[in-house]
Amino acid sequence: MKAGRGPLAWLALTQGLIVLLALAALLWAGPPLPPLRVLAALALLLLSAAGAWLLLRVHRAAAALAGEAEARKRAEQEARAANLAKGQLLANASHEIRTPMNGVLGMADLLLRSELTAAQRERVELIRTSAEALLALVDDVLDLSKIEAGRLLLRPRDFHLREMVGEAVRLLAPQAAAQGTDLRLDVRSEVPDDLHGDPMRLRQVLINLVGNAVRHTREGFVAIAVEARDGRGGAPEIRFEVRDTGTGIRPAVQARLFQRFAQSDSSVSQSPGGGAGLGLVISKSIVELMGGEIGFESAYGAGSAFWFQVPRVAAQGTAAALRWPVLDRHEDDRRAVRRKARLLVVDDHPVNRLLALAQLGDLGYLADGAENGAGALELLAERTYDAVVLDCAMPGLDGYETCRRLRAREGEGRHTPVIALTAFAMAGEREKCLAAGMDDYLAKPYRAEDLAAIVDRWVGVGTAAPETRAGDRLDERLAALQRLGAIPGNAVLGQVKEAFLGRGAQDLETIEQAIARGDGEAAAAAAHSLRGSSGILGAAALAALCGELEALARQGDLAACGPRLQAVEREYRAVEGRLAP
């Protein structure tokens, strides 16, 4: 109300002045009043009334505009608050679902490793399949929320195409075999194997399309074809096609197939393999984010063919570092290395803690447990552990603060690998873990083989010895260079070492200075340079760490770059030691 008193007061004052002027003009003339002056006074009075009316209209219009602006401002604030609340709700819901789901899937895996009757095994498989279906729905909802918020990010890196495609097909092969569907794969010979892109998102799209095809093809075949081709303007592309002999899609459904919650068959939601109708929407968003396109052809009753094509980018020299996990030792050899390692599992949830301890024990590791961060720090002060598996969300001292205190205690000396376990799957969680000083990240729920792969990598299983894990293919490359160096007059080995170490030290200094002054692009460029030379040399672990640092720098997350740079520097020193004569 106070804001409206100003205009009204001016209106009253103006109107009063005009009336006074009119009366003064009448009195000044004295009786008898001339007709012209009477008309002038009346005109002034009319002008006063008209001016008052106009000013009143202007005031009301201004008040209405101010009210609308205030309402819009409130609506925007409420919308922002609602989006934040929605994101937090999704994160909390994901956490609450993933935590017990981790126990369900983990215990199902342990049961399947034990001796079961055929009927028991079938029931446990059903438990695991149902849990995985629920988890897939949670992941779809989270991905959809990221798409709506514009936060769906790609993590490009070098990868091996045939391994990625083969892994996707192997995941769905049991389901196809169980229902008598022939699953075929044809990767054309001209398709290059070493590529650069986001293999996890490509795999997600491929699994969605193949999974849909298998679900709707009870007899006949599902054929996956991958070919290299030139796209528009001659740009190189990779095209994936999934063709089936299933039920096909009704014409009325085809127009809305890529819309949210649309399904090709309304009965799908009632079947065990049905989905929420989000997979194709998410797949379309991922493909378009990659700069590609997706489409389909279908004849109802005669099958369908879904395809997508994305730009083909050659590998940048580090594909060896990013193969799908394949350990290079026999199981007995791996167990022998594992028995020498001691791990610490920290999780406040008793089921998840016991599950992780059981899984690690089944792998051959000796592991201790702690139910909170304070207990973990006490155990770490008493004995040395080869790695810590640390839950992030714990009451009191959470995993992030526990790791910060551990790093502060260790200083520049010993560095205990810390693997984060978290049921939060929202964007930025991995970077948050790295910023706290953790070395790696595993989302719940996870499979036993996922836990094995990540722990083995940090403990050193799958290489000649734990202290040589930075090498990966380094020994192989050095041996080849040494053979060349044995040729009289050939100093290639010394030249390669000198070039790598000289440029590597320069790159590390550049990265450190760029982070200090807040220049993410310069830090990313130097990390990219070191990543390329590391990959060429065969230092796969160093190349992978440089790739992660490069991605963080390009995203502008300089707070997370510091801890990752420390990991890069440690790995660089390890490689430097291996290169010493």
In sequence order, which residues have a C-beta less than 8 Å from that of residue 400 and are 6 or more positions away? 392, 432, 433, 436
Torsion of CA 419, 420, 423, 426, to 10 degrees: -120
Beta carbons of 395 and 363 less than 8 angstroms apart:
no
Q: What span, in angstroms and rounded, lies between the C-alpha atoms of 398 and 192? A: 45
What digits encode the pLDDT tens for the residues 18-55? 666 665 655 555 555 566 666 666 666 666 666 667 76
Q: What span, in angstroms and rounded, lies between the C-alpha atoms of 178 and 181? A: 8
Beta carbons of 261 and 282 less than 8 angstroms apart:
no
* Of the candidates 351, 350, 346, the residue with the CA atom closest to the CA atom of residue 367: 346
Q: What span, in angstroms and rounded, lies between the C-alpha atoms of 121 and 132? A: 16
* Distance from chain centroid for Cα 298: 32
Q: Where are the alpha helices (DSSP H) in 429-491?
A: 429-435, 448-459, 474-485
Q: What span, in angstroms and rounded, lies between the C-alpha atoms of 545 and 565? A: 8
Give the pLDDT confidence score for residue 443 in this predicted structure: 81
Give the pLDDT confidence score for residue 150 in this predicted structure: 66
Pairing state between β 342-346 and 236-244: unpaired
Q: What span, in angstroms and rounded, lies between the C-alpha atoms of 248 and 246? A: 6
Dig out the tokens for 578 from the structure: 């291996």
- 3-state DSSP of 372-438: CHHHHHHHHHHCCCCEEEEECCCCCCCHHHHHHHHHHHHCCCCCCCEEEEECCCCCCHHHHHHHCCC
Q: What's the Cα-to-Cα distance from 304 to each of 13, 126, 173, 325, 562, rounded to whole Å?
A: 79, 28, 19, 33, 49
Mark the ranges of the chain whose per-residue pLDDT is less than 70: 1-52, 55, 80, 82-99, 133, 137, 144-151, 259-277, 317-333, 412-413, 424-428, 461-496, 535-538, 540, 580-581
Q: What span, in angstroms and rounded, lies between the C-alpha atoms of 37 and 27? A: 10
What digits encode the pLDDT tens for the residues 138-166? 777 777 666 666 667 777 888 889 888 88
Beta carbons of 547 and 157 less than 8 angstroms apart:
yes
Dig out the tokens for 233 from the structure: 């303007």
Torsion of CA 193, 199, 202, 207, to 10 degrees: 100
Q: C-alpha angle 423/426/428, rounded to 5°?
A: 110
* Of the candidates 462, 497, 450, 498, the residue with the CA atom closest to the CA atom of residue 477: 497
